[in-house]
Amino acid sequence: MTFNDIFKSSFLENVTNVSILDMALALVLAFGLGTFIFLVYKKTYQGVMYSSSFGTTLVALTMITTVVILAVTSNVVLSLGMVGALSIVRFRTAIKEPLDIAFLFWSIAVGIVLAAGMILLAVIGSVAIGVILLVFVNKKPRCNPYILVLSCTDSVSEKNAKEFLEQQVQKCVVKSKTAQRGLVELNLEIRMKDDSTDFINALASMNGINSAVLVSYNGEYMG
């Protein structure tokens, strides 16, 4: 065995399967498109608490996926081993917003497409997806729903409050009702005609009304 035989290995031969230029170009493009995904996520986020770490994760996920797919496409044996290794990975972090799943798959898809060499598809596809998300997610509804928590003393005051609300708002639907001795509590979904909330003051001053609380509601959380 000579000195050269010691360093002769199939592992070392695989180092040149992916050129330095290809790796650098793929990572730069992955970083650029990952940053674009992050900016779109930041502009379209509508949750309760914005997490900057999730936005950073989108950039990192795009680059990591690109690196993994570059390695897989350069070696068939490695691709089989990678499938087995990734099949045992489990992520236990809960996704709080349904739209976050779309951004995660978007980052992964961009990394796969870039590593496969379809640069034009990755760029045009990302721009198209970004524009669609910016248009539809930021589109404000015509009439925002609200939840009205109403506390009444009896059924008579409850009836009067409903009749008053039907005249003041566009839509009024009872979501829940709790009845106790000397107390009736209602949760109503209302759609207001305009931005004025003066009718809540008039409602709270009616006879038999203990309190009236108006809460903004978007179907996912209250705040």
Q: What pLDDT does residue 193 have?
A: 78
pLDDT of residue 223: 36
Complete domains list, the chain, with CATH: 3-137 (no CATH), 145-216 (3.30.70.60)
Instruction: With cut-offs at 50, 70 and 90, classify the pLDDT of residue 153.
Output: confident
pLDDT at residue 138 greater than cutoff 80: no
Nearest to 210 by CA among 164, 169, 149, 168: 149
For residue 181, what is the DSSP state?
Answer: T
Q: Give the pairing type, strands 209-216 and 169-180.
A: unpaired
Which pTM value belongs to this model? 0.62
What pLDDT band is residue 107 in, cutting at 50, 70 and 90? very high
pLDDT tens-place string over residues 58-79: 999 999 888 888 877 766 555 5
The stretch 20-36 carries a mean pLDDT of 90
| Alpha carbons 172 and 80: distance in angstroms, whole number | 59
Rounded average pLDDT over 132-144: 75
pLDDT value at residue 60: 92
Tokens of 174: 């009872």
Which residue in this structure is represented by tokens 């940053």? 35
pLDDT > 90? residue 168: no
Q: In sequence order, what are the beta bridge partners of 147? A: 189, 215
Residue 197 sits at the vertex; the CA angle it makes with 149 and 178, to the nearest 5 degrees, is: 10
Higher pLDDT, 92 or 194: 194
Give 12-77 as a DSSP string.
Answer: HHGGGGS-HHHHHHHHHHHHHHHHHHHHHHHHH--SSS--HHHHHHHHHHHHHHHHHHHHHHH-HH
Least confident of 36-50, 61-75, 85-99, 130-144: 85-99
